[in-house]
Chains A and B, each alone.
Chain A
Amino acid sequence: MSAAAALHPTPQIALKWRDLAIALAGPAAVGACIGWSAGAGALLQMSIMLPLSFVGVTLATLPALYVGVALAGQAPNVQTMLKIASAAQRDLGLILLGLAPALLFMCATATDVHEALVFGTLGVVLGSMVGARAFYTRFRQTIPQWQALGIFALWALLTGGLGWEIYLNILRTGGQLL
């Protein structure tokens, strides 16, 4: 086995409680960073609502992805699709956990709430983009046909737009940061 091949292990898509914990901990950590400069209340609300919004948006739009892929004739069974989505959520949580130290530093040293909000939003957007890339990797591993790429791209745009609207609503109502 070459050195490059040794660095790319077989993907594991078994659902575990640890994966669920990581999927929730990442957005919670980023939410805490965003709400840090606005007080304890905002910190708690953001750390609860951000993970719920990530999971909720994915669950709400996942059936659309599955139906689209099924109509294209390339859908796996439902259990496999759920496992892929849960593994992608775990990957997103891992990415946001990795961004959390840098975000915490930037938000904690920001002069005002708005500056912290800018850094936090940048972290959420970057993390979501990388998380979408990770989801796409697992998606292509299971559904390698190129026709699924267009369906996935449309789904990613839809989910990104919906997620952005929900994120703004959370900032306004939950964290009162806007």
Chain B
Amino acid sequence: MTTNPITPNTSKLTIFYPTQDDFAPENTAPTQPESTQPQSAHTQVSATDDTIDAQPMTHDPTTPAATPDALPSQTPNLARTKEPSPNNNAPLHQEHAAPNQLAGPTQTHNALQTNTASVPQEALLDVPTAPPAQAPSPIGTALAQTVSTIALKPTPIPTPAPAEPLPPLEGGAMGVLDELLRHRPRLLRRLLEGDSLPQIARAAMVTIVITMAVMGASMGFYRGGLQILYAAIKLPLVMLLTAAITAPVYSAIKTALQHKASVMADFALILSALALTCLVTVALAPVLLLGVFQQTPYHKLILLLVGLFGLGGAAGYVFFFKGINQQLVRGHRLICVTLLVAMGLVGSQMAWLTRPYLVRPASQEVPMMRAFEGSFMDAVLQSTRSARGIYKSDVRPGLKLRGKP
């Protein structure tokens, strides 16, 4: 029996590939004497490199299966021997091995023996117990690479399509008006990105002045004469001064909530919202004129005016709210409520101070502005008391009035 010394190197492995004979139910007798058996094409495969050192070895099928501990999963079913192999149930093919065994160093190897060459048991037993350095099969290597590929390369998240570039703002003020009426999302995007802010602000101011002048003239038409001119002058001032006083509130709150505040952008947003308010209100001016021509009573006309301005204000506020939502990440509801309160109070007080607009029918004179008396809130409270039948006949004790001791 020829024996080939097995290199006492823990990195050397002996790989056996099953043959047809391995699957025979019983194969007790050696097919050939060891000495006459052809040398098997065993190769000694290094666990660390890809070179193959082909060293003929002989395999004794009669010897007990003493498979090296290095290849528990690769040990072929040594049912060809009489003695059952400790790894009799071990998988024959690398594909059934655990994945971590598949991830071993790649090794090239050849299909080994094709016949059962005998290997002396002593030689097998001399194989040192090396740590299991797996030698994956080609199929196993491919499977491992596929698994690792699947594991390491996640499914790409679909990125949103880049936003289309904004078209240039053409047509000057009319272009801004067109976008304000027909393409409000595009205008909001311009305000967010800071595109053409001075142009938008100028166009909004011009819109406010012209539309409120028309609306004021419509209101003054109730009395006629100089009141048409007075109301056409006062109403734009009310809108612009309200915007000027309440714009710092928005910028200050934005800065306090750690948003980047641009005075120009904030003012442009407020002016744009007011411009939309004025456009909607002036579009409803024919309703007011119809009421005037129908000789609607004074107080009902006042209520009609409140309704028309309320509708315009709602449209402008929705636009403003959308602009705030676009610009802010946090606290936008609180900012909207605060600005609604601030603009409502300031605007109503400003309008009260610059009254009259319709002029009561009993008034003899048509003043530019009435004397400074009372306030909007005071007028609301007084009207509430009057509606309940409580009329103010004298001054309340302790009440401090402006200009009086």
Contacts and interface: CB of A to CB of B under 8 A. Distances in A.
Interface of A: 3-4, 6-9, 11, 37-38, 91-92, 94-95, 97-99, 101-102, 105-106, 109-115, 118-119, 122, 126, 129-131, 133-134, 137-138
| The 10 residue pairs across chains A and B that have the minimum distance between CB atoms | A98-B252, A91-B256, A7-B260, A134-B256, A98-B249, A94-B256, A98-B248, A95-B256, A11-B258, A102-B342
Interface in B339-387: 341-342, 345-346, 349-350, 353, 372-375, 377-378
B331 A130 contact: yes
A126 B401 CA distance: 27
A118 B375 CA distance: 13
SS class, residues of chain B in contact with chain A: helix
Given A112-B400, A115-B375, A92 B249 contact: no
Given A9-B260, A98-B253, A133-B331, A112 B401 contact: yes
Contacts of B378: 111, 115
Given A6-B260, A119-B345, A126 B338 contact: yes
A29 to B, nearest CB: 11
A94 B255 contact: yes
A109 B353 contact: yes
Nearest to B194: A3
Given A115-B377, A129-B334, A9 B253 contact: no
Given A98-B252, A111-B374, A134 B257 contact: yes
Contact of B258 (A114, A122, A137): A137
Contacts of B249: 98-99, 101-102
A95 B339 CA distance: 12
Nearest to A95: B256
Contacts, number: 110
Contacts of B259: 7-8
A113 B399 CA distance: 8
Contact of A133 (B192, B260, B334, B401): B334
B329 interface: yes
Contacts of A130: 253, 256-257, 331, 334-335, 338
Given A101-B245, A112-B400, A133 B257 contact: yes
B193 A126 contact: no
A73 B252 CA distance: 34
A37 to B, nearest CB: 8
A95 B346 CA distance: 17
Contacts of A119: 345
B329 A97 contact: no
B334 A109 contact: no
Nearest to B252: A98
Contact of B331 (A112, A115, A126, A137): A137
Interface of B: 192-193, 245-246, 248-253, 255-260, 326-327, 329-331, 334-335, 338, 341-342, 345-346, 349-350, 353, 372-375, 377-378, 399-402
Nearest to B248: A98
A24 to B, nearest CB: 15
B256 A112 contact: no
A64 B341 CA distance: 33
A109 B338 CA distance: 20
30 contacts: A3-B192, A4-B327, A6-B260, A7-B259, A8-B260, A11-B258, A94-B252, A95-B252, A95-B256, A98-B250, A98-B251, A99-B249, A102-B248, A102-B249, A105-B349, A110-B375, A111-B374, A111-B375, A111-B378, A111-B401, A112-B399, A113-B400, A115-B375, A115-B378, A126-B341, A130-B338, A131-B256, A133-B331, A134-B258, A134-B331
Contacts of B377: 115, 118
Given A98-B250, A115-B377, A130-B253, 9 more contacts: A7-B192, A11-B258, A37-B400, A99-B252, A106-B349, A112-B400, A114-B399, A134-B258, A137-B330
A101 B338 CA distance: 14
A97 B346 CA distance: 16
Nearest to A98: B252
A109 B349 contact: yes
B346 to A, nearest CB: 5
Contact of B345 (A9, A102, A131): A102
Contacts of B402: 37, 111-112
A122 B249 CA distance: 14
B350 to A, nearest CB: 8
Contact of B329 (A3, A4, A113): A4
A7 B327 contact: yes
B260 A101 contact: no
Given A98-B249, A102-B342, A137 B257 contact: yes
A95 B349 CA distance: 22
Contacts of A99: 249, 252, 342
Contacts of A113: 400
Nearest to B345: A106
